[in-house]
Structure 1
Amino acid sequence: MKRRIFAKQCLQTAITLGLSLSGAVALSPIAVAQTAAKFPNQAITMVVPQAPGGTNDIVARLIAAELAEELKQPVIVANKTGAGGNIGTEQTKRATPDGYTLLMTVNSAQAINPSLYKSVGFDPVKDFAPITTIGSVPNVLLVNPNFPAKTLDEFIALIKANPGKYQYASAGNGTLNHLLGAMLDQRAGLKMEHIPYKGVGPAMVDVLGGQVPIVFASLPSSLANIRDGKLRALGVSTEKRNPALPDVPAIGEKIPGFGGDLWIALFGVAGTSPEVINTLYQATARVMQKPSVQKKLSDQGVELAFDTPDQLKARLEKDIVKWREIVNASGARVD
């Protein structure tokens, strides 16, 4: 039933998008047909500005393979890493705006980096044409099993009563799990000490070992430790509870205004024609309706978050404002 509802919603949004795009430019029906007929007629490159093996890379390769079948052309994933995603993103903005170079990226690069870095080399809104959001990955507020708080309410009360006493680990200054901790401090009136590590691996090792008691970590990377009792989950960072942890509250239930997940989205280069964007959007819509794709995404801990181009644009703009506030409050900066 849920899949039928999802498919119907995708179809409705695709129809709506098609109508809105047809009214956005003054092209004759013949010109529109000719543009659609020509695209695509060669291989498409999907740039991933993050390292191979990460969630974004895994999702990109899944979607690329399915899009290749839909579009009848190869879709090649190219990892262009460095500077937290800035290098690959900046290179992509310089590509010809013809739909043959796409960007599959995450909000930490597209929405957080512009506030975190002195210069990112791109404008996340003006330099890219939104296509759709693929999904989101929630983070989980985790504590070592020996931590005295057993619930989110107890955690908030304990930290409030002991400002500056407790530490939380992160993968480094300005990373999402750092800024989620900063957001928690800001929204709940808490004061925790931030301990940055060089990567999420070392941070998790010390939380598991009890050297640092608190961490935010992605659900896919932490679920096994939660189920094994090696970490205690107190809250999820999304606005609603996650089906994988139905008994763990969303932090937003207790703290109004708290919410932050890692979303993955597909963009074209700014200036790409609305007809080409529509072709890519609708092809992705068909991919996302496949039960096999939905299952593979779910197995990776990715929640479907399908957006129209306009909805993705609004999501991005809202996130830029939200994370700018958090970055400024945290004092995090990367030169």
Structure 2
Amino acid sequence: MSGTLPRRALVAGGAAFAALPLVARAQSWPSQPIRLVVPYAPGGTTDLTARLVAAGLAARLGQPVLVDNRPGAGATLASAQVAAAVPDGLTLLMSNIASHAIAPALYRSLRYDAVRDFTHVALVVENPSVFAANSRFAPEGLPQVVELSHRTAEGIDIASSGSGSSNHLLIVQFAEATGARVHHIPYRGAGPAMTDVIAGVVPMMSDSLPSAVGHIRAGSVRAVAMSSTKRHPAFPEVPTFREQGIDLVSTSWFGISGPAGLPPAIVERLAMAVASVLAEPATAARFAELGGTVRMMSPGAYNEFVMAEVARWAPIVAASGAQVD
């Protein structure tokens, strides 16, 4: 007889687990694989961050941590699905600046409250953005991009991972600060956007640095400007926005969150596991390679951070005039 359990036994076991009170489930957590939802397509910074963290969590928690890419509606579709999930610690979200700081002010009909409807477990990493251009795109710097936008009848297309992302808002702020004639082209993730930049479908994109690093190093795209306060140590040859006369600084952040009501025992164990993953020198080194900086926060601190970010971005979104139904 095969050592594999019959499918009906597995289904029955899962149903029995789901029927247990949350307190009992918390004591045995995790007894099943964990789903880490990424609200973007594969290949972007959120996805890369999730896969690094998932591998480390699986080793520490003794269960597979499966990355589930669910792009759509500027990261809000998947976020709403996780907010509505059972708070048993088996469905988690790679929360980020788009879904939990910008979306509350950007979307008129957002289906969740960024603070009330989630248990925020841990901040993980933050990184700057970069304007990355097709290698054959003529302008060498941002002043030349602005000039070209006025010499071209249709202006210049600049892509991002989606409406409502910090990279989208950086494009809006760039246009406002310089008067450049820019058309934002939203994609369902940084990976598909980068594919089209490399192919020349769009000339340039605003991207979080980790998802652009490999393409910049390979020469597939050219870094035009970095949104950090000073030149990034991994790319000392790339000038900042400020160095090119545009006073813009922008960083993205990514963390782990679950539905509201996640049992404290699960929150504590998960937070400790995330902290252990981030404390690994190899993990920090890999994030640094990708242009990110590890920034661990406790559950309470991360919750307060999200609250502060919602308040910080509201006037920026309002001033930009950006709005999504």
Would you call these one fold, judging by a TM-score over 0.5? yes
Deviations 1:247-269 (A, max 9, x none): 43443678797332332210122
Tell whether the 8 Å contact from 2:229 to 2:240 is kept in structure 1 after alignment. Answer: yes
Structure 1 residues 199-218: aligned runs within 5 Å: 199=187, 215-218=205-208
The alpha-carbon distance between structure 1 residues 71 and 259, as it changes in their structure 2 partners (threshold 3 A), is: same
Q: Which residue does 2:271 correspond to in 1? A: 281
Size of the alignment, in residue pairs? 299
Q: Give 1:85's aligned residue.
A: 75
* Shift in Å, 1:288: 1.2
What runs of 5+ residues in structure 1 fail to find an aligned partner? 1-33
Kept in 2: contact 1:131–1:280 (CA 8 A): yes
Where does residue 303 of structure 1 map in the other structure? 293
Q: 1:83-127 CA deviation, whole Å, 9 max, x = no partner? A: 222222222222333433322232212222222222221101111
- In the other structure, the counterpart of 2:109 is 119
CA RMSD of aligned residues (A): 3.9
Q: Secondary structure at the match of 1:76?
A: strand
SS of structure 1 residue aligned to 2:178: coil
1:193 aligns with 2:181: yes
Q: Equivalent residue for 1:56?
A: 46
1:42 paired to 2:70: no
Shift of 1:183: 2.2
Matches within 5 A, 1:239-318: 239-251=229-241, 258-318=248-308
The sequence identity of aligned pairs, in percent, is 33
Alignment check: 8 A CA contact 1:48 1:56 kept? no
Q: What are the Cα deviations for residues 157-201 of structure 1, in whole angstroms up to 9, with x where unaligned?
A: 969x99x99635123654433310222345xx4212221335367
Using structure 1 for the length normalisation, give the TM-score. 0.71
Q: Distance in 1 between matches of 2:87 and 2:196?
A: 46
Amino acid across the alignment from 1:191: G
The aligned amino acid for 1:46 is R
- Could you say which residue in structure 1 is the equivalent of 2:3? none
Determine which of 118, 141, 145 is the counterpart of 2:131.
Answer: 141
Normalised to the residue count of structure 2, the TM-score between the two structures is 0.72
Judge conservation of contact 1:50–1:79 (CA < 8 Å) in 2: yes
- Equivalent in the alignment of 2:87: 97
Q: How far off is 1:299 after superposition?
A: 4.3
* Aligned residue in 1 for 2:118: 128
Aligned to 1:334, what secondary structure does the other structure show? coil
Partner of residue 6, structure 2: none
Q: Is the 8 A contact 1:48 1:104 kept in 2?
A: yes
1:96 aligned counterpart, secondary structure = coil
**Hey, what's the Cα distance between the residues in 1 that align with 2:233 and 2:129?**
13
The one-character-per-residue Cα deviations of 1:44-78 (angstroms, maximum 9, x if unpaired) are: 53331424523323332332232122123343333
- Unpaired runs of at least 5, structure 2: 1-22
Letter in 2 for 1:246: P
User: CA separation of 1:62/1:173 partners in 2, compared to 1, >3 Å: closer, same or farther?
Assistant: closer
Q: Which amino acid aligns with 1:192?
A: A
